[in-house]
Structure 1
């Protein structure tokens, strides 16, 4: 595996490093996993993780929401921090000593210990594992670690005699991750939860006044804060209130006078320098493992799980874009956390299709296209996660077994835990932005983003009752409307060719996720239902045929009185009406856009990227974690 290309070499190297550490410090992987998932240690050197599971109540049934809430609450009640610390101590000692220890006796001794003493033993086990990891020499380091764990074992059990070997090793349970379930009812809820998480793990100054979150008011730290830059001269007699100098001597704190934009640029470059530069030939690029060991700072990890279909993922893309915009505007107040995204498809309630849409292709009505695409890339994701699409609603609707506790078999939580622990290879999806111009010139153009699909329908022509009585049959009575489509044709060579079409259509579907039989390129797949007129003896009739084209960007405008309506990511809540023109293009990284705007002021005639923009990510990509990334 180490000699094969990505993602095999990345996965193989990661597991080889884990095996090497596990041989030197037995039980280290279990210990690290439980500590990070349960947040048992608040030390600076320990990685802190938290799992956020978002459910859109408008898309996910009430039964699924109640089932997940019941499972997570039941696990939290049974898995207390005391029990989790006992699991870590027991597993570490058994991994080091093997059958030369009495695990039932150790478990009974831990149950009788007070919380303070149990935590001291827990810290001793962590310190022993940390020393063993840093020591050199395989056999010697392993023996030293074994002796350190034997001393802790003797101290807990109070026995210094030779133990009778146990017949077999005991099974130590692995606690489920601490998952918090959130009903996604507020557009800024993702940002708010991340603010709360980062304030719990580290001291970060974030701007939360505009959200009005209880308990997150800014504290008065002016006495301890050192200013970053200053605008005054630094001379005492120029400062206000010089007449009070006799009462209290003025003192200046050390400060650095530096221009804000330059410092912001440095922070932005530091934050975005590790991001992928964008997909290559493949439509989606598989990235490296999110556990970057060369990172000098151990940032907390926020694992965001989205349970739903393409509509929920489209809402996630919009929230992620808003999050990146806040980061670009306030780089010093950036939330210092690694974000990882997971997708568990669940098919929501779908309205019955109308009779005139029964002949649509299956991929048009599909609401889990993105997860289906991930299943084609990664068979392990397809076999373990995509099968939950229809299974979770069925399990939620099943009545609980009367002879068993409803929380004793948390199937959905177990599969989610498996996905969180082993799905570490991200696949990056391009987010597309759309600029919308309305027929009413008094309305400002709107901007939005989408991830999977943009659907354009032709609205009925609005006419008055007088014109209805007097108008004759004109071209507006024909189905559809005349539109002009200007697009940059996407080619496999990476070159772009501009083209323009003028035709009559009733509907346009722009898909960002390629269908099963399409070539996997960085492009938009545009499907236009073209209406063609034919004249014969019986009269005039219209026929419809679908034209398909690939484009990197699309501009579209109506040539008639009829306006257009837009639907983003198949979500009926994200609809724009009375649209006269729209522009679709890859969404730029907000930090790159900000730096490019600043660089254009210094180099107004330069067409190429200047300054920091040449090193920054241009496109905004949304990473969705899978097990193996893209298997070519």
Structure 2
């Protein structure tokens, strides 16, 4: 039931000096990496700060004043490391503040506008918040109204956008006491957000916040408005629809609109709502808090049989009224997503060719057969299609199967190309990026709206996919995303409807000496969350709030075992909500394709992808310790291991890449796509042999090889094992050779294929192709992109 309390009812007023000290305590410092405990505390302190102010409009307004003063001071002192954390904290407080004076709006807007003269990523964050503050100053409460309407998927006729949060947790990491902890936290999130439990509760909150934000305490009595809406709880939807209509009409008019007209219309609506109350004055009263409810979260353990794309489509179709999904029947959806089981992607299914001896004309078909499309969409036929496919080889009887459309339409081709241009507008050819390569080795990060001249169409549905685990779950996401893009290139379905946003929360497995995970993670004696460690190095605010969450979850699970029961405060849900709302700048990680050839010639080659790590290991040398190998090398001068040949393109900062080929003896090798330190932050692969070169003076064998394309082949009768993304479930044995290269983006492939029809024999990129990236990246959203 909707519940709105007065300002002084249950949340004490925090004096500004105390808020100032709280703000100073959460800011990232240069010593955070040397003292991880301090960094972990900052995430909890940031959450505590927002809890202090979310239930008191007075506290929230005071925090806004403190934060803008701190931002202006950081600008004067050129303390850029604090600007983005302070700005995110400021905007999160502004959204929830009941009323903000116009002079404060102007002060915040002017500061954000000054950030446009700063380098990336400050100008990108500044541009985003400048746009929001410009319209929020004209239409107070619009950000809150749109956020709640989209996240809670409230039915309306004026704002069609909807969002859904999917959390995918690795079952190898999240087991035992972690599962009840997460479920309890998510349950507390839905039941303790100021009593928000149903759509009418959220509608009441939107109406309350909007009227207060526009009218203020001088023209609105928050307590009387809250009481009037409690009395009209069952009939609140018409008022909610009217508020949305007023604000969205004002948003369309923009700066041409009249602020006085907006206040006048909301004043009339306010008088209509409180018309049945007593005759006391309806203004100059205290305002009520309107806490921002956490979005609805769909939690899944990412097991082998979970098809995340099918789950995503079903979720949006079941909860929306838009024609894009509601008009799509279950049978049509299954047809669009493929008829294969969840563990097989339609684009990779083996399709057997059977020669047909009929004419293909309907009247020539034997009696009883119905080749019409309507029959192929019959539920009974769809449910039996896969079983029929399995027995097709055994029966060897002629059957007509639905074909896969390999040639996309012009509209579908443009959607994929616009996606690629949106994500890579600055990766075109040019002399500054190297004449031979055409791209830079610097990792790309941040939104591209300032440079993009080919914006993709706005989609009404946004899926925020949050993955939790170590490098193994990130590798699974990269593989799922790669096959998803391949499938969409053949049969476009979700790309035209859903905007995908990816987030990552690194959580390591608690290993023991007898844990089976030890064998997985000790191959390189490295970090099992290398991608999370990289993001925490380049984004200090990610380090404080997200990287620290993994350790906090394990600590909370230990406390939960000692004191079972539902947590009173949804800490994990609150942090995830803060992350997906403020994490707007992606860091791009290239997905790499690997072709695997086996020693047994009767076994067909296989294809796979990886994101973070590829390991080569010769089983017969696995148990030889590094000290023994080094001793053998010093005594005999020979390296203990097998001989392999490597052909690769050596990458240089100048862009003058060189083709090289060498043969070395080694017991294994590591290929890392994630840099191990900030000094080596290059967007390429780094190959490291288990043994250092025998002769350091010999330049033909380097200790580290930087490349993006490499072929490795064993020259002896020995074969090696291949492990992708440190995941033992993705280990290939008896491997003879591998070929590694960046995955090609389907959007680029389509544009290239279209041009090849008209330019036979021309291999050079031209037209839109030269503005598109060949490689397919996986974007992981952060708060600031790459700062360091």
Counterpart of 1:424 (choices 560, 565, 584) is 584
| 1:480-495 equivalences in 2 (<5 Å) | 480-495=641-656
Which deviates more from structure 2 when the two are superposed, residues 179-188 or residues 621-630? 179-188
| 1:156-555 equivalences in 2 (<5 Å) | 156-158=273-275, 163=281, 165-166=283-284, 168-186=286-304, 189-200=307-318, 201=320, 202-203=324-325, 206=333, 207-211=336-340, 263=410, 265-276=413-424, 280-288=439-447, 296-331=457-492, 334-350=495-511, 352=513, 364-399=525-560, 406-460=566-620, 479-530=640-691, 547-555=703-711
Secondary structure of residue in 1 paired with 2:589: strand
Q: Cα gap change, 1:594/1:459 in structure 2, threshold over 3 Å: closer, same or farther? A: farther
Q: Does 1:149 align with 2:263?
A: no
1:424-467 CA-to-partner distances (Å, cap 9, x unmatched) read: 01111111111100000011111111111001101239xxxxxx
Q: Cα gap change, 1:491/1:260 in structure 2, threshold over 3 Å: closer, same or farther? A: closer
Output the CA distance in 1 between the equivalents of 2:511 and 2:753: 44
Q: Cα gap change, 1:278/1:513 in structure 2, threshold over 3 Å: closer, same or farther? A: farther
Output the CA distance in 2 between the equivalents of 1:183 and 1:15: 35
Secondary structure of residue in 2 paired with 1:454: strand
Q: Cα gap change, 1:400/1:262 in structure 2, threshold over 3 Å: closer, same or farther? A: closer
Is the contact made by 2:646 and 2:712 (CA closer than 8 Å) also made in structure 1? yes
The answer for unaligned runs of 5 or more in structure 1 is 214-237, 242-258, 462-474, 535-544
Paired position in structure 1 for 2:73: none
Secondary structure of residue in 1 paired with 2:543: helix
- Give how far 1:342 is off: 0.4
Is the contact made by 1:304 and 1:341 (CA closer than 8 Å) also made in structure 2? yes
Is the contact made by 2:594 and 2:739 (CA closer than 8 Å) also made in structure 1? yes
Q: Which has the higher strand share?
A: 1
Secondary structure of residue in 1 paired with 2:267: helix
Is the contact made by 2:612 and 2:674 (CA closer than 8 Å) also made in structure 1? yes
- Give how far 1:199 is off: 2.8
1:206-233 CA-to-partner distances (Å, cap 9, x unmatched) read: 41351579xxxxxxxxxxxxxxxxxxxx
- Give how far 1:69 is off: 1.8
Output the CA distance in 2 between the equivalents of 1:14 and 1:73: 33
- Give how far 1:560 is off: 1.3
The answer for unaligned runs of 5 or more in structure 2 is 1-114, 343-360, 365-405, 428-438, 622-635, 696-700
Paired position in structure 1 for 2:391: none
- Give how far 1:595 is off: 5.0
Is the contact made by 1:64 and 1:393 (CA closer than 8 Å) also made in structure 2? yes
- Give how far 1:352 is off: 3.5
Paired position in structure 1 for 2:734: 578
- Give how far 1:582 is off: 0.5
Q: Cα gap change, 1:490/1:353 in structure 2, threshold over 3 Å: closer, same or farther? A: farther
- Give how far 1:571 is off: 0.8
Is the contact made by 1:480 and 1:531 (CA closer than 8 Å) also made in structure 2? no
Q: Cα gap change, 1:493/1:621 in structure 2, threshold over 3 Å: closer, same or farther? A: same
Output the CA distance in 2 between the equivalents of 1:602 and 1:352: 62
Q: Cα gap change, 1:616/1:119 in structure 2, threshold over 3 Å: closer, same or farther? A: same
Counterpart of 1:86 (choices 178, 193, 204) is 204
- Give how far 1:381 is off: 0.8
Counterpart of 2:127 (choices 13, 23, 29) is 13
Paired position in structure 2 for 1:248: none
TM-score normalised to structure 1 length: 0.81
Output the CA distance in 2 between the equivalents of 1:136 and 1:182: 41
Output the CA distance in 2 between the equivalents of 1:47 and 1:101: 30
1:165-209 CA-to-partner distances (Å, cap 9, x unmatched) read: 456432221100111101111355211122214434423664135
- Give how far 1:239 is off: 10
1:525-544 CA-to-partner distances (Å, cap 9, x unmatched) read: 1110237889xxxxxxxxxx
- Give how far 1:148 is off: 1.5
Output the CA distance in 2 between the equivalents of 1:401 and 1:276: 50
Paired position in structure 2 for 1:227: none
Which deviates more from structure 2 when the two are superposed, residues 449-458 or residues 179-188? 179-188
**Aligned pair count?**
564
- Give how far 1:285 is off: 0.7
- Give how far 1:3 is off: 0.6
| 1:56-67 equivalences in 2 (<5 Å) | 56-67=170-181
Secondary structure of residue in 2 paired with 1:387: helix
- Give how far 1:70 is off: 2.0
TM-score normalised to structure 2 length: 0.66
Output the CA distance in 1 between the equivalents of 2:740 and 2:125: 36
- Give how far 1:602 is off: 6.1
- Give how far 1:107 is off: 2.0
Is the contact made by 1:79 and 1:175 (CA closer than 8 Å) also made in structure 2? no
Is the contact made by 1:46 and 1:298 (CA closer than 8 Å) also made in structure 2? no
Is the contact made by 1:54 and 1:305 (CA closer than 8 Å) also made in structure 2? yes
